[in-house]
Structure 1
Amino acid sequence: MSALAYDGTAMLGRQLRRMRNNPGLLILTQVMPVSMLLFFGYVFGSALAVPGEAYRSFLVPGILAATAAGGVMTGMFQSAQDVHRGVTDRFRTLPVSRAAVPLGQAVADVVATAAGTVLFLLVGLAVGWRVEGGALEAVCAFALLMLFRFACVWVGIFLGLLTRNEEAAGQLGGATFLLPLLSSAYIPTEGLPGWLRTVAEWNPISAVATALRDLFGNAPAPGGTAWPMAHPVAGSLVWCAVLLAVFVPLAVRQYTHGRP
């Protein structure tokens, strides 16, 4: 465990330096959620208004959840890039913990996401979003968001190690943009057709978005929905636990052996 902590800290530093040396990608990932908030909030705000509440108050938690799910794309691209350029093979020859490299990548991604989330929330406050719940609930919402991002990055790390090609990872990662569209991140699920509503309500992004709205005090958990949305905090924790339990061992094994 001490070796994992020491090696993981070293890999965390390596990933943070990597982000510093590639500011374009970092800026893009931080600016995109703000752009989406302004675009959806002002361009589509009147057409997608949520009855009885400001649409931007509904939208901010949804974009936070969608951004956290974007960890699949960033984790996939970075790990595939390392494999494609031979960095992963060089790390395998070093006497370091096999879990340290993907762990460092996942933690670094969460650190960068946390910094970007603070900026996004400041913009959200500027456009009218407010924390209407208690301070403890707001802290829990932030922690839940970071946990979900951490879990999603591990999914991306495994897929990136599996694809082994940064171009293929980039194309596959672009497909993850559809995931928030099939959720309650941007619109309520009540008006969706039956089968599509079921898919959206069992989407992990829907559970996290609903949990954030509940914890921030922006909207209570809706009734008459699937279990993850009716009990969004518990549903989000279950989804995070499942993703971590499945993809952390898979990613470490794939990193260690270089094959499924």
Structure 2
Amino acid sequence: MTRRELAHWARQPVAVVVGLAFPVMLLLMFTYLVGGGRGVAGDPTEYLVPGMLALTMAFGLESTMLAVTQDLGKGVIDRFRSLPMVPGAVLVGRSAADMLQSMAALAVMAGVGYAVGWRWHNGTAAALGAVGLLLLLRFAMLWVGIHLAMVAGRPELVQAVQILVWPVGFLSNVFASPASMPGWLGTVVEWNPMSATATAVRELFGNPGGATGSWAAEHAQLLAILWPVAIIAVFFPLAVGKFARLSR
């Protein structure tokens, strides 16, 4: 099932390139046009790039959602469910392919970030830990996307569902420090799962914008694990249960 999903990359290279280029475009736009890192002392690029890496892990789910809804609409998943295979192989294969694409996206984003001046300062082990937290967030968001795709059922509804991801992405500390926001808004932002990952990743990379004094910021690395695990604990069984009830 994973090979099937990867074969689509060769048949639809434009979609893959667009998926990789979109976060790069956002990074360059916020670095050179809009500006990022408001309210942060130090190099704003080193604040912005880790946040954009976290944002990339939350965005881009539309390709997964479209693939699932298209298979549903064409009856492909019904065909797979009639074959002698482990029932969860379809979903696991889809998620494995998505994680491989996410690794490629992280590599591209890190390369572009390095080109515009971003660096990590705490060594290889800490950097690998940061990558692990980013991929954990992606894995959690992936199961949210798979479940929502099966709830939507049709490709034309994916765009409406995808809009729900944008508030989560922008109501975070990706582009600005919560300290520069009104008090109530800063509190909401700091408890955003993406903010926890972004803050933890900044700490591990040795970039500015890590702990800011609040409990959520001081324990960002713990929350960067607990939030995705909680999301997986909720949406993984929901997705598997929804898949098992298809066509009944």
Counterparts of 1:189-228 in structure 2 under 5 Å? 189-219=178-208, 221-227=210-216
TM (norm. structure 1) is 0.89
Q: 2:222 aligns with which of 217, 220, 234?
A: 234
Q: 2:57 aligns with which of 47, 61, 68?
A: 68
1:259 positional shift: 7.7
Q: Which 4+ runs in 1 deviate beyond 4 A? A: 47-50
Secondary structure of 1:219's partner? Answer: coil
The match for 2:135 is: 146
Contact 2:54 2:134 in 1 (8 A): yes
Q: What is the alpha-carbon distance in structure 2 between the residues aligned to residue 120 and residue 221 of structure 1?
A: 20
1:247 positional shift: 1.0
1:226 positional shift: 4.4
How big is each residue's C-alpha offset from its partner over 1:14-36, in whole Å with a ceiling of 9 and x where there is no partner? 11112222212211110011111
Q: Residues 164, 18 of structure 1: CA spacing in aligned structure 2 closer, same or farther, 3 A cutoff?
A: same
The match for 1:17 is: 7
The match for 1:252 is: 240
How big is each residue's C-alpha offset from its partner over 1:107-151, in whole Å with a ceiling of 9 and x where there is no partner? 111101101211211111110000111110001111111111111
Q: What is the alpha-carbon distance in structure 2 between the residues aligned to residue 201 and residue 96 of structure 1?
A: 43
Contact 2:59 2:165 in 1 (8 A): yes
The match for 2:231 is: 243
Q: 2:20 aligns with which of 26, 30, 55?
A: 30
Q: Residues 220, 192 of structure 1: CA spacing in aligned structure 2 closer, same or farther, 3 A cutoff?
A: closer
Aligned partner letter, 1:117:
L
How big is each residue's C-alpha offset from its partner over 1:152-188, in whole Å with a ceiling of 9 and x where there is no partner? 1111001101110111012211341222110001111
The match for 1:172 is: 161
Aligned partner letter, 1:246:
V
Q: 1:94 aligns with which of 76, 83, 90?
A: 83
Contact 1:83 1:89 in 2 (8 A): yes
Aligned partner letter, 2:108:
L
Q: What is the alpha-carbon distance in structure 2 between the residues aligned to residue 121 and residue 38 of structure 1?
A: 12
More displaced 10-residue stretch of structure 1: 22-31 or 167-176:
167-176
More displaced 10-residue stretch of structure 1: 157-166 or 14-23:
14-23
Identity percentage over the alignment?
Answer: 37
- Structure 2 spans left out of the alignment, 5+ residues: none
1:252 positional shift: 0.9
Q: What is the alpha-carbon distance in structure 1 between the residues aligned to residue 187 and residue 39 of structure 2?
A: 20
Contact 1:75 1:156 in 2 (8 A): yes
1:85 positional shift: 2.1
Q: What is the alpha-carbon distance in structure 1 between the residues aligned to residue 184 and residue 62 of structure 2?
A: 26
The match for 2:99 is: 110
Aligned partner letter, 2:154:
N
- Structure 1 spans left out of the alignment, 5+ residues: 1-10
Q: 2:108 aligns with which of 101, 119, 123?
A: 119
Q: How many equivalent residue pairs?
A: 248
Q: Residues 72, 116 of structure 1: CA spacing in aligned structure 2 closer, same or farther, 3 A cutoff?
A: closer
- Aligned Cα RMSD in Å? 1.8
TM (norm. structure 2) is 0.93
Q: What is the alpha-carbon distance in structure 1 between the residues aligned to residue 83 and residue 47 of structure 2?
A: 48
Contact 1:75 1:155 in 2 (8 A): no
1:43 positional shift: 0.7
How big is each residue's C-alpha offset from its partner over 1:1-22, in whole Å with a ceiling of 9 and x where there is no partner? xxxxxxxxxx111111122222
Q: 2:33 aligns with which of 31, 43, 49?
A: 43
Q: What is the alpha-carbon distance in structure 1 between the residues aligned to residue 235 and residue 40 of structure 2?
A: 39
Contact 1:151 1:240 in 2 (8 A): yes
1:69 positional shift: 0.7
